[in-house]
Amino acid sequence: MSSRHDPNRPVAVYATDFDQSPDAGALEGLGLDRRPVGAGELAGCLAELGDAQAILLLVDDALINQSGDTGRQALASLNPVGPVRVVSLLKNPKRIGTLGIPDGLVTWRGGETSRDNLAGVLRCAVRELAHFSRYRILDDELDLRRHEIHELNRIGIALSTEHDHDSLLTLILQTIREFTCSDAGSLYVLERDADGERRLRFSVAQNDSIETPTLKQFTLPINRQTLAGYAAVTGVPLNIADAYNIDPSADYSFNPAFDINTGYVTRSMLVLAMKNHRDETIGVLQLINRKTDRHIKLTHENVETAVLPFDQRSQEFATSLASQAAIALQNNLLLRGLESNIDELKSTQAQLVQSEKLASLGQLTAGVAHEINNPLAFSRNNTQLARERLKMAELRLSIRTWLENQEEIPAGARHQAGLDLLDRLVGNPTYSDDVRSVRYELEDLPEDAREGLLREFFDYVTQRSEAEGDPVNILLGRVDKLLEESMVGLDRMAEIVLGLRNFSRLDEASFQEADIDEGIRQTLMILRKVAKDASVSVLDDLQLDRPYPCFPAKLNQVVLNLVNNAIDACDRWGEVKVITRRIDDWLQIQVLDNGSGIDEEHINKIFDPFFTTKPVGKGTGLGLSISYRIIQEHRGKIWAARRESGGTVFTIQIPSSAPAPDTVEAKEQAN
């Protein structure tokens, strides 16, 4: 008679008479579906269950005698690598070898055995079958992960190519909602108010089930009382199954004002901090009501059945997307800031040549920032994945420590530590079914026997982990190398972006106290690739002891022009050096090179507008003219000289202490 079985539960197949035998009790507590077969039914039963069903086949003399030739043929035709385990209960153990059953499927060849031994054999067989089932699940999971990684890369590229700020925010929220099947959501961007306090600006809201009112942007204080504020302060994701049943002792609470005003019903929520590559929160993402089907429109009538809590996979995927989105958002803000700086610099420059020069510089920095956006997002995603691998490695080490230090830990503490490790394995899909089985068995065992079962199970976990993957030390070494390389790349790219921003930001266009040496370092960093492509070494010897008054951005521009010219003047393997010193009341900056030098006939013309000795199309003759005028604004001096050893040295001197230009004190000093 046909019966349906859960495809995820192994099926025990045995002769009908086995149910009346004393050994039948060994099947209790193993989580098996049972399928007794009568005379001539074995072949049909195996055919019905198919190759995909996990089967525990108990072969005794009754089963063989009643199955006939078709049954024997069915046994000999079993898939050698299929999810089948055969336990022989034949009185003559050698008889199992005459049935043609593939050797790899027979997990026990013994004859009559005690019920306790049989129970142990069956437990091992069931675990092996569970392994087959999990293998199929893992294979499906692997395909899913490949798809997710592909989608993450695709989304990262899409985010990096969207330059409009509002469109980017809309795209971020829409994309993450689609992949988590969220009915609604909102996005907050972190900003600072006039007093410098950090606040969250409500920037985007979306809802598939109701027509939302016109968005009115507002800001929230960053504290633990609101859901978004709590995520921003702590960085901890909030995965809430029911917004109206939050633990009253929690720091945060749900604000039902939107539901009251619109008639919407909020149930499940996922609130995530959006963090950049420095692990700094720059925004908060709220996802609302994960649906069973993205096409469903939620109503009061169907919300209880159509809304699900956000599962772990949704949270992990949303977290990865939020990381990529945060980097795209930060770079978008950076690009907006750079573009704003460029526009304002263009409009405020008194001379056309200087405006043009600064605009081209801003375009260069914006282009570099955009160019590194994709590898920055990719490195961040890889680092996130590596962290997940480390969690499992740490658990494996904890299990090994527990197994190896049995005599050093008191019995009570050792038992509790084992239970704690068992709890940590619950969340691992590879072992979750085994953990449930072990927990069930522990309840039926006397206390003095429980530790033995825990040791047996942890031995099994350790052996399987070593068999299916790399040893822990090799795994940790590889993960450490991956993290090291990823973080070096992230720090390097972050350094470039920060340097570009600091180099061209508008607030340093004013006269102020500034670290001149640091500005030079940032400038040399920008030119590092130019020097590398030209095979020229750029060295520095910077010894100014404190900040000094200057126009930082403009002084950086002068150094940029001089070092760039020096690199152009050098042959391959040439050398450029920048030196800073304080000499009496003057700050001195020198740029030296060992290139071809400047002809004497040109030395007095190099600061004239449009004068250049470079080939046509390579130089405009504006860089040194602009530099000369900037140094004049500092009430300083700049000159060039030929070096006796070959090459050129440019020397800049500006006052070490001076009032800001265009002030009464400055005009009196100038007179």
> What's residue 3's pLDDT?
53
What pLDDT score does 250 carry?
A: 93
Distances (CA, A) of 510 to 283, 601, 633: 30, 37, 12
Q: Which position has the token pair 């404190």?
A: 546
Q: What is the DSSP string of 58-104?
A: EE-HHHHHHHHHHHHHHHHTS-TTSSEEEEE--SSGGGGGGTT--GG
From residue 190, alpha-carbon distances to 169, 205, 220, 326, 500 in Å are 13, 16, 9, 11, 22
HEC string of 197-208? Answer: CEEEEEEEEEEC
Identify the pLDDT of residue 194: 81
pLDDT category, 191, cuts 50, 70, 90? confident
Q: Which residue has the tokens 């919300």?
A: 303
Instruction: Examine the pLDDT at 290 and tell me if it is beyond 90.
Output: yes
- pTM greater than 0.85 (yes/no): no
| pLDDT score, position 161 | 63
Highest mean pLDDT among 29-33, 137-141, 196-200: 196-200
Q: Read off the pLDDT of each residue in 448-461 and give the average, rounded to a whole number.
A: 78
Model pLDDT, residue 133: 73
Residue 293: strand, helix, or coil? coil
Smallest CA-to-CA distance from 270 within 234, 319, 310 is with 310
Residue 604 above 90 pLDDT? no
Q: Does the structure show a pLDDT above 50 at 284?
A: yes
Q: What does the pLDDT look like over 382-439, one tens digit per residue?
A: 676 677 667 777 777 777 777 777 777 776 777 787 778 778 777 777 777 877 888 8
Judging by beta carbons within 10 Å of its beta carbon (0-12, 13-18, 19+), is residue 99 exposed, middle or buried? middle
| Residues 616-669: tens digit of each pLDDT | 555 556 678 888 888 998 999 999 999 988 899 999 999 998 766 654 444 444
The pLDDT value recorded for residue 51 is: 78
Question: Are the beta carbons of 565 and 602 closer than 8 angstroms?
Answer: no
Distance CA 234, CA 230 (A): 6
Query: Within 10 A of 65 (CB to CB), how many other CB atoms are there?
Result: 11
Residue 462 scores a pLDDT above 90: no
Q: How far apart are CA 157 and CA 374, in angstroms?
A: 7
| Residue 253 DSSP label | B
Is the pLDDT score of 376 beyond 90? no
Q: Report the C-alpha gap between 159 and 146 in whole angstroms.
A: 20
Task: Give 641's strand partners.
Answer: 649
**Among the listed ranges 52-56, 134-138, 304-308, 449-453, which one has the minimum average pLDDT value?**
134-138
**Rounded Cα gap, residues 473 and 456, in angstroms:** 23
Q: Residue 88 in 3-state DSSP? A: strand
Chain-centre distance for alpha carbon 318: 10
Q: Is the pLDDT of residue 114 over 70?
A: no
Other CB atoms within 10 A of residue 160 CB: 21
Those residues whose C-beta lies under 8 Å from the C-beta of residue 621, and which sit 6 or more positions away, are 608, 609, 610, 611, 612
Q: What is the per-residue pLDDT across 314-372, written as a single tens digit (0 to 9) for each?
A: 888 788 777 777 777 777 666 666 666 666 655 554 454 454 455 445 535 543 654 56
Q: What does the mean pLDDT of the chain come to? A: 79
- In this structure, which amino acid lies at residue 5? H
Query: pLDDT digit string (tens) for 142-155?
Result: 776 676 666 666 66
Q: How far is CA 516 from CA 133, 551, 558, 628, 652, in A?
A: 65, 10, 12, 18, 13
Q: Greater confidence, 15 or 510?
A: 15
Burial label for 22, CB within 10 Å (0-12, 13-18, 19+), is exposed
pLDDT at position 435 is 78
**271 pLDDT above the threshold of 90:** yes
pLDDT at 670 over 60: no
pLDDT surpassing 80 at residue 16:
yes
Cα distance between residue 145 and residue 586, in whole Å: 62
